[in-house]
Amino acid sequence: MSNKLRLAIQKSGRLSEDSIKLLKDCGIDLRNVKDRLRTESENFPIEIFFLRDDDIPEYVSDGVADIGIVGENVLYEKNKSVETVEELGFGKCRLSIAVPKADEYNNTYLQGKRIATSYPVLTSKFLNEKNIKAELHEISGSVEIAPGIGLADAVCDLVSSGSTLFMNGLKEVEVILQSQAVLIKNKSLSAEQQRLLDKLLFRIQAVKKAKNNKYILLNAPNDKLSEIIALLPGMKSPTVLPLAEEGWSSVHSVLNENEFWEIIEQLKAHGAQGILVVPIEKMII
């Protein structure tokens, strides 16, 4: 099996669709993935296993799978001997303590309380670091209803928007862990498997860079060209081409999405016109 990679991803749940989309964006052909436990790509030496997310760290640690995509929350909770090789930027959430909205929370609130959670390892670590003695109730699924039915006084659960907590009369009071999807690997890959992983990482990084950047084209007055170029560093430097209309140039560059609107405003202030913004499918530096 050293001539291919075995990748474990979540069969269903919040990371499943994004994991499959990432692979497809990387040019990996995946067919008939619905209701399958495993499949192979026809244009890249990779085999996909569809598993429960809780099982992925163990499968990778044991060498049943070579690599896996899993949330950091699961990775740290299971604490298996694997190596994180890339943060993937999707599946972002946080593991948080939540208490009833009507309660006043302070540093001693959790002392002696009952806490319901699906993450006993991470919750225990947090409590130990804070020197808090509390009673943990490990449950799976629908943790947020525990205070409402008298099972617990507080919960430690994953939070994305916070709407589920709100609907169950809870408020978020402590963030234990910021989490996202990561790519992990077995620590004993063969040289050939590592070579294949490096090829996959090259594609993943190109896709990630493209998502964070936009291609921008604009018309700039020549007397403001130096100021406009200074705002657009691009990958090396902007491309500048003369327009048919004298005194004007066309400027092409790349903008990071996090800086996009602020720079657009500055470009307009310097006389830029006809600004076009185009998505980038892949970005290789």
The pLDDT, as a whole number, for residue 283 is 84
CA atoms lying within 13 Å on the CB side of residue 151: 15
Could you check whether 5-89+181-210 and 213-279 share the same CATH topology? no
Residues 172-204 have pLDDT tens digits of 999 999 999 999 999 999 999 999 999 999 999
The pLDDT, as a whole number, for residue 236 is 80
> CATH for 213-279?
3.30.70.120
**Could you give the percent of the chain with pLDDT greater than 70?**
98
Does 93-179 carry CATH code 3.40.190.10?
yes
Region at 245 (left for phi over 0; alpha for psi -120 to 50; beta for the rest): beta
194 vs 238: CA distance, rounded Å: 36
The pLDDT, as a whole number, for residue 6 is 96
Q: Are 242 and 249 in contact (CB under 8 A)?
A: yes
96 vs 84: CA distance, rounded Å: 23
The pLDDT, as a whole number, for residue 88 is 96
* Structural domain spans, the chain: 5-89+181-210, 93-179, 213-279
pLDDT lower than 70: segments of the chain: 1-2, 33, 35
For the chain, what is the largest distance between any 2 Cα atoms, rounded to a whole number of angstroms?
77
The pLDDT, as a whole number, for residue 256 is 85
CATH T-level topology, domain 5-89+181-210: D-Maltodextrin-Binding Protein; domain 2 (3.40.190)
